[in-house]
Amino acid sequence: MRNIRGGMTNMTMHQELAPAGRVLVLDDEPVIQDVLRDLLQKSGYEVTVLGDAAAARQLLSEDGDWDVFLLDFMLPDDDGMEVLKYARKLHPELVVVMITAFGTVENAVSAMKLGAFHYLTKPFKNEEVRHLVAQAAKTAGLRRENRDLRKALEEKYKFEKIIGKSRRMKELYRFIDQVASSTSTVLIQGESGTGKELVAQAIHRRSPRAVKPFLVVNSNSIPAELLEDNLFGHARGAFTGAVGAKKGLMELADGGTILFDEISTISGDVQAKLLRVMQEKEFLPIGALESRRVDVRILAATNENLRDLVAEGRFREDLYYRMAVISIDLPPLRRRAEDIPLLAEHFLARYTKENRKEVQGFSPDVMALLMEYGWPGNVRELENVVERGVVLATGDRIHVETLPAYMSGPGRSPMLPGPVEGVGLNQALTDFEAVLIRDALEKAGGVQKKAAEILGLKPTTLNEKIKRLGITH
């Protein structure tokens, strides 16, 4: 760990201590070089000075361990902006301070958009340089600490792309490893946004099929006839417009895995064909005379209770039993609140990087709210909330004002009615769901995508619910 101090220590002290940080200076003017070297060395930094872009690129490719990079815009052999891009690409955590001539502040602003930390305007005062470099070095220290912490966390609590350290998630990781090697179908059940697709990916990646394709079929987003064609393909001339033969996804995924997402929405025809593939490992493309043999592992995901659908006659019982040979139930986020801080940090890191923002964390009241909230849209909703917070953040923390109003405003949890005799729980839940959906649609001015966001649902899931509940708007 390096010792990072401000610039105010005197000479005799800093000679015995570790340097206050390593600074790289790139400027071709000898006077500036001398002034900066002298000034920064006196403040306890280890300073390296270069005069052209080529030398800097060379050095940066070998050594990225700098606290601060002071970079001039006008270089004899290149544009400082290009060096900035190069440096940030190679070392995204590098803290860069641009040196700019008086009157070219627009340049500095565009540099900051590219991730520069700040800028110095020539001619500068010594005190200004000391102050800015000290701040930059402090930021470098924080970035490094954050990165180390995050790495440690991720290595410890990550399974493929799934994050979580709760007991239930650790059990899930073990279970995935157990089932990955078999060829059995796995039915992945869980509320919207609990990570069903991630689990399916993890099963594929941990299986001997990992080198073969992993395809996702979302039956809800394609009309039934098209789905059949997409899945099984067709022979030449099978129907008007079928000028050539077409391979279906089943054939394209041969040797690999297919995830049937939202399996509850597939039509009866496709259910029958699917059952045949699962039983006989073969299928007939539309209009073909000979069936094809394939070796495809089938995974299915659903956020509806398939057993209920079987009872209602909307899903084939035989197919259900085939699918549910192994089933995984993903816990909703509210049942594993201890994963919330970890997930929140994970998404914070992702979205600060993506948006090139300097947000370091959450204010304590925000974290309390995140822990308390019910997360009907589960991890997807949490991800959206953090992304929004990062985009709206103006300082180095995410504050309550950046959270969606429904999380913190009054009436954040809608009043729940008591039990009514003669109305079963399922009916009550359905009614309640319909009320919330109508409300959200109204708030969103009828725009389903926006309403889905309010409810923390995927637009396709909301659409499905609207259809099922017969909501008109």
Ligand X SMILES: Nc1ncnc2c1ncn2[C@@H]1O[C@H](COP(=O)(O)OP(=O)(O)OP(=O)(O)O)[C@@H](O)[C@H]1O
- Bridge partners, 46 (sequence order): 22
- Bridge partners, 122 (sequence order): 101
195 binds ligand X (CB under 6 A): yes
Instruction: Kindly tell me which residue out of 166, 185, 189, 194 binds ligand X, with binding defined by CB under 6 A.
Output: 194
Amino acid identity for residue 171 in this structure: E
Cα gap 351→391, rounded to integer Å? 8
CB of 12 to ligand X, least distance (A): 51
Structure tokens at 351: 């979205």
Q: Which of 65, 96, 93 is nearest to 81 (CA)?
A: 96
For residue 441, the Cα-to-chain-centroid distance in whole angstroms is 26
- 197 or 433: CB nearest Mg ion: 197
For 15, residues 6+ apart whose C-beta sits below 8 A from its C-beta are none
Burial of 440 (0-12, 13-18, 19+ CB in 10 A): buried
466 binds ligand X (CB under 6 A): no
- 97 or 300: CB nearest ligand X: 300
458 binds ligand X (CB under 6 A): yes
By CB under 6 A, the residues from 328 to 357 that bind ligand X are 343
What mask of x and - would describe binding to ligand X in positions 264 to 303, judged by CB under 6 A?
Answer: -------------------------------------x-x
**Site residue total, ligand X (CB under 6 A):** 19
Cα gap 317→142, rounded to integer Å? 57
461 binds ligand X (CB under 6 A): yes
CB of 440 to ligand X, least distance (A): 16
163 binds ligand X (CB under 6 A): yes
Which does residue 192 touch among Mg ion, ligand X, none (CB within 5 to 8 A, set by kind)?
ligand X
CB of 321 to ligand X, least distance (A): 22
Which does residue 195 touch among ligand X, Mg ion, none (CB within 5 to 8 A, set by kind)?
ligand X
Burial of 178 (0-12, 13-18, 19+ CB in 10 A): exposed
CB of 338 to ligand X, least distance (A): 13
Cis peptide before 341, with omega less than 30 degrees from 0?
A: no
Contact range with Mg ion by CB under 5 A, out of 67-75, 192-200, 242-250, 409-417: 192-200
CB of 390 to Mg ion, least distance (A): 23
CB of 437 to ligand X, least distance (A): 15
φ and ψ of 380, to 5 deg? -60, -40
- 51 or 193: CB nearest ligand X: 193
Q: Roughly what angle, to the nearest 10 degrees, separates helices 80-90 and 53-62?
A: 0
Amino acid identity for residue 224 in this structure: A
Which DSSP letter does residue 311 get?
A: H
Instruction: Kindly tell me which residue out of 193, 285, 389, 456 binds ligand X, with binding defined by CB under 6 A.
Output: 193
Contact range with Mg ion by CB under 5 A, out of 87-95, 189-197, 281-289, 379-387: 189-197
Identify each DSSP E strand in 5-57 by its residue range: 22-26, 46-50
CB of 149 to ligand X, least distance (A): 17
Instruction: Kindly tell me which residue out of 197, 254, 387, 431 binds Mg ion, with binding defined by CB under 5 A.
Output: 197
Which does residue 164 touch among Mg ion, ligand X, none (CB within 5 to 8 A, set by kind)?
ligand X
- 200 or 249: CB nearest ligand X: 200
- 47 or 259: CB nearest ligand X: 259
Cis peptide before 123, with omega less than 30 degrees from 0?
A: yes
φ and ψ of 2, to 5 deg? -80, 150
- Terminal alpha carbon distance of the chain: 60
- 166 or 189: CB nearest Mg ion: 189
For 136, residues 6+ apart whose C-beta sits below 8 A from its C-beta are 67, 68, 95, 97, 117, 118
Q: Which of 417, 402, 394, 395 is nearest to 370 (CA)?
A: 402
Residue with nearest beta carbon to ligand X: 195
Q: Which of 30, 3, 29, 8 is nearest to 18 (CA)?
A: 3
Contact range with ligand X by CB under 6 A, out of 176-184, 273-281, 320-328, 377-385: 377-385
Instruction: Concatenate the DSSP letters of all residues of 173-207 into one string.
Output: HHHHHHHHTS---EEEE-STTSSHHHHHHHHHHTS
- 121 or 221: CB nearest Mg ion: 221
CB of 347 to ligand X, least distance (A): 8
Residue numbers at the binding site for ligand X (CB under 6 A):
162-164, 190, 192-198, 301, 303, 343, 379-380, 383, 458, 461
Please report, as ranges, the residues that interact with Mg ion according to CB under 5 A: 197
